[in-house]
Structure 1
């Protein structure tokens, strides 16, 4: 029987790139994507003629249940913060026997215990620290949805995996959305401000991952899910996967963006200012989380499956990302 993969978020940045990677790696799979309207359906089917589209939203319980029940794997890449779609997918999978792969984010680890813009020492390993990771406070970003995946899967007997990326960089290759969040948002803020900045000293640390390497990680988990007993992957309470290729301090990112924008003639100086949380929040309300805290993780679990990041470095990818923001603001 041909494997059937139901994808939410295929019109988005991560979902679009990952769907393309999945189709290229496995043209034999039947890929079904959820879209909001017929216009999106037409764009996706023009880009990927072999896919099937279903019109609906993340709140369409009946549609999500029906498609999940027919799927061998549900790849939920539409949102890290939408509990209803997780509940509907698990309910459908409970009747069909498939598995759920859900995207979260290392914002769940956000650590500002040393103050905004300062480094924190704690690094979370997704094998050694799994119990701590899956029992973080409910107030942590994404934690309520992570819990809905874990408890829902356990309750209904559905195998689940949570894939948890940090800063995602690179220009996406999906047909609609090609822009990530943290680096583009900072680039846009620097362009509008006319000068680079950090939150505090900007010595706080985040992990990062290239969009193509994240997509390959998702495809790898799908491949394992389709093997007997879920292959070599771990599911449920142990099925939590960080995906990272290294660390950066936000000061270094701000300095590089400022240098690139100066070279492009968009700002006069590559100097970087230190802003308070309140000052930085004027440029984005999520500034403390996006650029002020620490999110440090280690992708040990994926590496045991043979996954290795192979994409360009964040420094190699930044010029194209910044240029995209310059072009967007010029429109």
Structure 2
């Protein structure tokens, strides 16, 4: 029988792109996706005629458990902050014997200890710093769900892996949502303000990854999951995978967005202002988190499996992203 992959989040940005790459890479797989309504299902099936869709939400324990029990792999890309879907998926996998791959995010590392807009020196490696990463306080973003994956998986004897990407850029190639968050939100704010800005000095550092390279990370782990004994991948407490291709200072991104917006004729100046947290928060309530802190990780574990980033650089992708925001306004 063909491997069966149950995907949550295929209607979204990361999930849509990952499902597209999954089907292109492995047309022999049986892919089942969760949708909230038949209209979404029809849109996905029009784009991918070979898939099966099931209707439900992340809170539908019966649906999630039933589909997970039938799956060789559950690819949970719908939410980094929803504990019930993780527990329901693991309950089903405990029956069927499959594995869980869950999406998290390096917001868990967000560091503003030096102040908003200032760089912080700490870089987390997903092998040598694993114990520290998985012992972060519950107040850290995504931390409670990460812990639920580890603890519930161990209790149910279900192999689990967490993919933890940083800022994701690029236009998605799924059929519905094609927009990421941090760069589009900043582009929109700059376009509406008419001038570029940073939170504080903008010297704070984030790592980043192209959306297609996140999708390829999912494929690598699915392929390993389907091999005897989980292949060369690590599962459970050591199954924690950063996925990154480099890092930038936010002031450089803000400057480039502003330059592109000026070249498009959408704003009159390429000047970039330094705003306080309160001032920046007027343009988005999450400004301190989105653009003011530091998140620095190294994807050593994933690279050991042969994964490497191959997509366009963030600088190559920015013009299309800014234009998309400009066209939408």
1:255 and 2:258 matched: no
Name the residue aligned to 2:123.
Answer: 123
Name the residue aligned to 1:23.
Answer: 23
Name the residue aligned to 2:238.
Answer: 238
Q: In the aligned structure 2, how far is the partner of 1:81 from the partner of 1:268?
A: 40
Q: In the aligned structure 2, how far is the partner of 1:229 from the partner of 1:278?
A: 51
Q: In the aligned structure 1, how far is the partner of 2:172 from the partner of 2:200?
A: 30
Q: In the aligned structure 2, how far is the partner of 1:290 from the partner of 1:135?
A: 23
Let me know the Cα RMSD of the aligned residues. Answer: 0.4
1:292-307 maps to which residues of 2 (within 5 A)?
A: 292-307=292-307
Q: Residue by residue, what CA displacement relative to the aligned partner does 1:143-196 show, whole Å, maximum 9, x if unpaired?
A: 000001000101110000000000101000000000000000000010111111
Q: In the aligned structure 2, how far is the partner of 1:91 from the partner of 1:282?
A: 43
1:1-331 maps to which residues of 2 (within 5 A)?
A: 1-329=1-329
Deviation at 1:47, TM superposition (A): 0.2
Deviation at 1:41, TM superposition (A): 0.4
Question: What SS is found at the alignment partner of 1:136?
Answer: coil
Question: What SS is found at the alignment partner of 1:49?
Answer: coil
Q: In the aligned structure 2, how far is the partner of 1:25 from the partner of 1:242?
A: 22
Equivalent pairs counted in the alignment come to 329
Q: Which runs of 5+ in 2 are unaligned?
A: none
Deviation at 1:242, TM superposition (A): 0.2
Question: What SS is found at the alignment partner of 2:207?
Answer: strand
Q: In the aligned structure 2, how far is the partner of 1:75 from the partner of 1:289?
A: 27
Question: What SS is found at the alignment partner of 1:162?
Answer: strand
Question: What SS is found at the alignment partner of 1:219?
Answer: helix
Q: In the aligned structure 1, how far is the partner of 2:55 from the partner of 2:24?
A: 24
Deviation at 1:115, TM superposition (A): 0.3
Deviation at 1:285, TM superposition (A): 1.0
- Taking structure 2 as the reference length, the TM-score comes to 1.00
Q: Residue by residue, what CA displacement relative to the aligned partner does 1:35-87 show, whole Å, maximum 9, x if unpaired?
A: 01010000000000000000110000000000000000000000001111011
Q: In the aligned structure 1, how far is the partner of 2:214 from the partner of 2:186?
A: 21
Question: What SS is found at the alignment partner of 1:258?
Answer: helix
Q: In the aligned structure 2, how far is the partner of 1:105 from the partner of 1:284?
A: 20
Q: Provide runs of 4+ in structure 1 moved above 6 Å.
A: none
